[in-house]
Structure 1
Amino acid sequence: MTYHFLLTNTILSLLLTLAHAVDKTRDPETNAFLKLAATNIDRYTKLDNNVAWTFDFPSQSTYTFSPGSVVNANAATFPALTGIGMTMAMLNLGPCAMLPPHAHQRGTNIVVAISGNTTSYMVGENGVGVVKVELVTGVLTVFPVGSLHSMQNNGCDNAQLVSALNSEDTGTINYINAMYQLPPDLLRAAFGDEFLDADGSASRIPKVGTGSVMGSYECRKRCGLV
C-alpha cells in the first residue's frame, strides 16, 4: 500500500467515526416550520400533541452504560427545542468510563452529578491551568464555550450526570479523533517526534461511538475490568 492510500483510509475512517456520534435530524420538516413560524400560537399548531412535548432519555437508541453514552435532547432529536436555544443531555458513564477530551464550539456547558463519583478536567485556553472538579451527587461545574474538557467515572458502579448547554446545536468536537485527521507529517512535527507512528496511533484511538470510551488503566485494574 502507498503512503497516500494509507493516509486516505485513515482520514476516511476517522471521518466516519466522528459522523457516528453526530445527532441525526429526525424531522427536518417540523424544524423548518418552527423556525419560520410567525407566532408562538403557530408553533403550537405544529406541536399539537403530548408526544411532541415528550423526550424519553432511556428509550433512545444510544442510551447505554457499556461503556457509556451522551444522549442529547436538542433541535435535531427533539424538534420542540427548535428556536429555544438549549440542549439537555444525559451523561451515562459505566464503571471507569470517560468522556474523552472535547469542546462545544457554540455552547457553554453546565454539568451536575446525579450519582457516582466522576472527576472532570477543563482547560480554558493557552496560559491557564487545569480546573479539576470532583463531581459527586449534587455537585455542579461549568465548562465555558470552547473550553477543552473531559471527565471520568472513578468508581466500579455506574455514574450519571445531567448536562445543559445554551445552544440547540452545540458543535461538539472530540479533539484527539479530530487531530488525527491531519497529515501524519504535521502530527509528527506537533509532537516533536519525527519517528512517531501517526498511522498506527490513529488506528488505536477509541471510536467516538455513543460518546463514551473506557477510562484509565488504574481504574479498570482496580475494578477488575482488565
Structure 2
Amino acid sequence: MLSKAALLAFSALSLVSSVGAIDHVQDPQRMLQLNDATTALERLNILSSDRDWLFDFKAQSTWTEDPGSVVNANAVTFPAAFGNGMTMALLTLGPCAQLPPHFHPRGSNYVMHVAGPAVKTYMTMENGARTVEEKILPYQMTIFPHASVHAMENTGCETAYLVSALNSEDPATHNLANAFFALNSELTDASMGYQRLAVNNSEIPPPGTGSLAGRESCLKRCEGTTRRAKE
C-alpha cells in the first residue's frame, strides 16, 4: 500500500503539474481513508456507491487519440483498485505515434494488442543484453520485465489500442530522453564521447499524455489518410 507520505506527495504533485503521463490523485481525502482502513469491509463501506467501482478510460482528461495517450487505472486514479497491487492501462497510439524509450522502476509490464495496425516493440534489459524486437497484432502480447527499457510504435495509418497490466499500484514511468537531458551537460557530453548533440534541455518535450508523434517517414506516408480521417 502507499504510505501517507506518498499519498500526500501525489496530492501535491497533482496541484502543480498538468503532465498527462504522470498519475494524479483523484480524491486525496478518500485515499487517506482507504489507507487508514483496517479491513476490506471498511474499504467497501468507504467506496459506498456502485459507481465507485467503474473506471471509464475514455472519460479521463488525459485520454486522446492525437497523437495518443496512456491512461492508468490504479490506486491513485481509481480508489477501488486500492490494495490490489496492480495497474491496468489503456494505450492509444495514433497513426505512426510512439511511446518513447522508458522504463517502469517499480513494475513488470504485460502488453496486449487489442485493435488497429501492427505495433512494433523494442526492449533491452541491461548492459550486454540484446535488444528484443517484436511486431504484435491484435490478440497478441509481449512482456517488458521489471525496469527494462522499452518503446513502442504504431506502424500504420489508423489508431492502435493496447491494454497494459503492471504488477504495482505505483509503477511510475521514467522517459530516458527526459532523464538524460536533465543531467549536467558536461556529464552527458562525456557519456556520448564528447559528440555534442543538437538538442538542449529546452527542446526536450515533456512526457505529455504518454504518446508522441512518430517517425517522419511514417507520418509522411500516412499524411493523406490521417487528414481524411480527421475530416
Same fold, judged at TM 0.5 (above): yes
Cα 1:35–1:140 change in 2 (3 A) is: same
Q: Please name the residue that 1:206 is paired with.
A: 205
Amino acid across the alignment from 2:92: N
Amino acid across the alignment from 2:32: A
Question: 1:220 and 2:219 equivalent?
Answer: yes
Q: Please name the residue that 1:61 is paired with.
A: 61
Cα 1:95–1:19 change in 2 (3 A) is: closer
Amino acid across the alignment from 2:145: P
1:17·1:207 contact (CA, 8 Å) conserved in 2? no
CA deviations 1:95-138 (Å, max 9, x no partner) are 00000000001110000000121011000111110111111100
Q: Please name the residue that 2:12 is paired with.
A: none
Structure 2 portions without partners, runs of 5+: 1-15, 227-231
2:112·2:142 contact (CA, 8 Å) conserved in 1? yes
2:20·2:62 contact (CA, 8 Å) conserved in 1? no
Aligned 1:89-100 pairs, distance under 5 A: 89-100=89-100
Amino acid across the alignment from 2:206: K
Q: Please name the residue that 1:72 is paired with.
A: 72
CA deviations 1:5-41 (Å, max 9, x no partner) are xxxxxxxxxxx99955311111122112222222111
Structure 1 portions without partners, runs of 5+: 1-15
How far did 1:203 drift? 3.2
1:18·1:177 contact (CA, 8 Å) conserved in 2? no
Instruction: Provide the secondary structure at the position in 2 that maps to 1:214.
Output: coil
Q: Please name the residue that 1:139 is paired with.
A: 140
For 1:141 and 1:20, the matched residues in 2 are separated by: 24
For 1:55 and 1:190, the matched residues in 2 are separated by: 44
Provide the aligned length of Structure 1 versus Structure 2.
209
Q: Please name the residue that 1:4 is paired with.
A: none
For 1:203 and 1:221, the matched residues in 2 are separated by: 26
Question: 1:22 and 2:12 equivalent?
Answer: no
Aligned 1:38-53 pairs, distance under 5 A: 38-53=38-53
Instruction: Provide the secondary structure at the position in 2 that maps to 1:164.
Output: strand
Cα 1:103–1:215 change in 2 (3 A) is: same
Instruction: Provide the secondary structure at the position in 1 that maps to 2:207.
Output: coil
How far did 1:212 drift? 0.6
TM-score by length of 1: 0.87
Amino acid across the alignment from 2:104: H
1:57·1:71 contact (CA, 8 Å) conserved in 2? yes
Q: Please name the residue that 2:178 is paired with.
A: 177
Q: Please name the residue that 2:161 is paired with.
A: 160
CA RMSD between the two structures: 1.9
For 2:102 and 2:32, the matched residues in 1 are separated by: 29
CA deviations 1:126-177 (Å, max 9, x no partner) are 1110111111100100111100000000000000000000101002101111
2:19·2:206 contact (CA, 8 Å) conserved in 1? no
Instruction: Provide the secondary structure at the position in 1 that maps to 2:58.
Output: helix
Tell me whether 143-152 or 126-135 shows the greater mean CA deviation.
126-135
1:68·1:211 contact (CA, 8 Å) conserved in 2? yes
Amino acid across the alignment from 2:124: V
1:53·1:80 contact (CA, 8 Å) conserved in 2? yes
Instruction: Provide the secondary structure at the position in 1 that maps to 2:200.
Output: helix
Runs of 4+ that moved beyond 6 A: none
